[in-house]
Amino acid sequence: MNDYSKVMGMKNEIMKKSIGFDYNKFENEGIGFDYEGMMKAVGLDLQDIIQIQKSSNIGNTPLLELKNINSLVKKFSKEGKGGKIFIKDEAANPSGSYKVRRAAISVYKAKQLGYKGVIAATSGNYGAAVASQAAIQGLKCIIVQECYDSKGDGQPEIIEKARKCEAYGAEVVQMTVGPELFYKFLLLLEETGYFNASLYTPYGIAGVETLGYEIPIKMREMYGKDPDYVICTNAGGGNLTGTARGLIKAGAHNTKVYGASVNLKGLHMASDTQFNKKSFTTGHTGFGIPFATWPDRSDVPRSAARALRYMDRYLSVTQGEVFYMTELLANLEGMERGPAGNTSLAAAFALAREVDEDKIIVVQETEYTGAGKHIQPQLSFARKNGIKIFFGDPVNEIPGQNIIFPSSPELIKLREIDMDSLKKSYIRNALENNKIDSPDELDIKFLSNDTKSNPEYVTEVIKKIKEG
């Protein structure tokens, strides 16, 4: 059973057994599927999920105004500009990140369905979240990590997260970068019969809805209004998708949802030589763009994380800007937090300088920090890999070559990722991957929903694709 081609050939069968969820029920004949039907099949409403999470001390995290950072924003803003930034402190959750909201529902379902253990393939905070919830539910847990290059060098942040997983009693299987990660993941699922606690199931996304729901509820208590903008660090799309769905369920229909990712353009995430040239393991364009333009590349037949359904704008920030904001948050607000949420914070800082002073911006997550996630080990590792580090203008940063800290806060700028281009790429991928030349009306409707557009837009894009 260890033969690579045999294991990969059994992918669909292994997945079906390990999720306890029949995706075929929701498939249409062509491109699309019943997304909302799939989400309802979780079998839990929002209040059920709140109670499940509450039983593990998850949720109801603080929403904090960053008063000192907001004063700095005003100092570098034009007259009448300088919106207020708030931060949802998800580091207050067990395991130290919002991802425990996802894990709680997946592990709860695994227990309910009679599985003896759970497995997750992740190099990030999700592994620790799954491990913590498995410990509470009395289930076994295996975390499969992509950690090392072929020289055996592992990134400090990933190694830190492995320690966190092991502290909760999980077994951590560390792999070198490349296709063997998914192979090993499938092999373990088949050998153990454990539950696939994927980031991309409806269970996981439904768990994040409580985060989005809490934001306007708390903001109404504090200010009597909904936030104008919520910024989500974007990688595989689940963070943004779940948060946006929660905002909608709270009735915050006018709140704009922005994604933010660290620009790692030019670095290939599956390249052995480039893997350790990056200083961010998640929340970067190397995940954010591929998953936005084709979400069904994940470890389940249909991903419930579909960022283009909900994203109003997509912003990129640099590695240097995120490191700078990490220090700023610690030095001005006394909050030492990890890099993921500070990706959104960097974007929020730049956005706040451009919007009116009565606007409210919420950074919807923070994460814990630890030995391998601090700035110094990250920068030391970068230097070891030939990355030059200096102060200057972040606009000149070249991923894989240098990290440029802004020499002044006013150099932290908004950079757009072209949403129209992403939507067109997604539609092209949907046609090619489903081998369909002429989508029917149901396909067009699905694609318009999945790109937050309209049938006329989709029809025009398809026409241009055909014309070449």
- CB atoms closer than 10 angstroms to residue 425: 18
Q: How far apart are alpha carbons 137 and 135 in whole angstroms? A: 6
Contacts (Cβ under 8 Å, ≥6 apart) of 43: none
pLDDT at 331: 97
Phi (first) and psi of residue 232, to 5 degrees: -115, 130
Contacts (Cβ under 8 Å, ≥6 apart) of 117: 110, 134, 139, 140, 141, 142, 192, 194, 195
Q: How far apart are alpha carbons 451 and 193 in whole angstroms? A: 36
pLDDT at 2: 67
pLDDT at 249: 98
All CATH 3.40.50.1100 domain ranges of the chain, comma separated, are 4-52+97-202, 58-94+203-416
Alpha carbon 129 to its chain's center: 14
Angle between helices 339-354 and 319-333 (to 10 degrees): 90
pLDDT at 1: 57
How do strand 360-363 and strand 402-406 relate by DSSP bridges?
Answer: unpaired
User: Side chain identity at 361, as an amino acid letter?
Assistant: I
Regions of the chain where pLDDT drops below 70: 1-2
| Nearest residue to 399 via CA among 388, 413, 414 | 388
Q: How far apart are alpha carbons 249 and 49 in whole angstroms? A: 13
Give per-residue pLDDT as tens, 271-299: 888 989 999 888 999 999 999 999 999 88
8 Å CB contact between 125 and 104: no
Phi (first) and psi of residue 84, to 5 degrees: -90, 135
DSSP 3-state of 176: strand
| Nearest residue to 128 via CA among 87, 98, 154, 88 | 98
| Nearest residue to 314 via CA among 233, 354, 232, 259 | 259
Q: How far apart are alpha carbons 260 and 258 in whole angstroms? A: 7
Q: How far apart are alpha carbons 84 and 242 in whole angstroms? A: 24
How do strand 360-363 and strand 229-233 relate by DSSP bridges?
Answer: parallel
The domain at 58-94+203-416 falls in which architecture? Answer: 3-Layer(aba) Sandwich (3.40)
8 Å CB contact between 60 and 326: no
Count CA within 13 A, CB hemisphere, residue 23: 21
Q: How far apart are alpha carbons 313 and 433 in whole angstroms? A: 26
**Distances 255 to 64, 205, 242, 246, 342 between C-alpha atoms, Å:** 18, 19, 14, 11, 21
CATH 3.40.50.1100 fits 4-52+97-202, yes or no: yes
Q: How far apart are alpha carbons 2 and 190 in whole angstroms? A: 10
8 Å CB contact between 465 and 427: yes
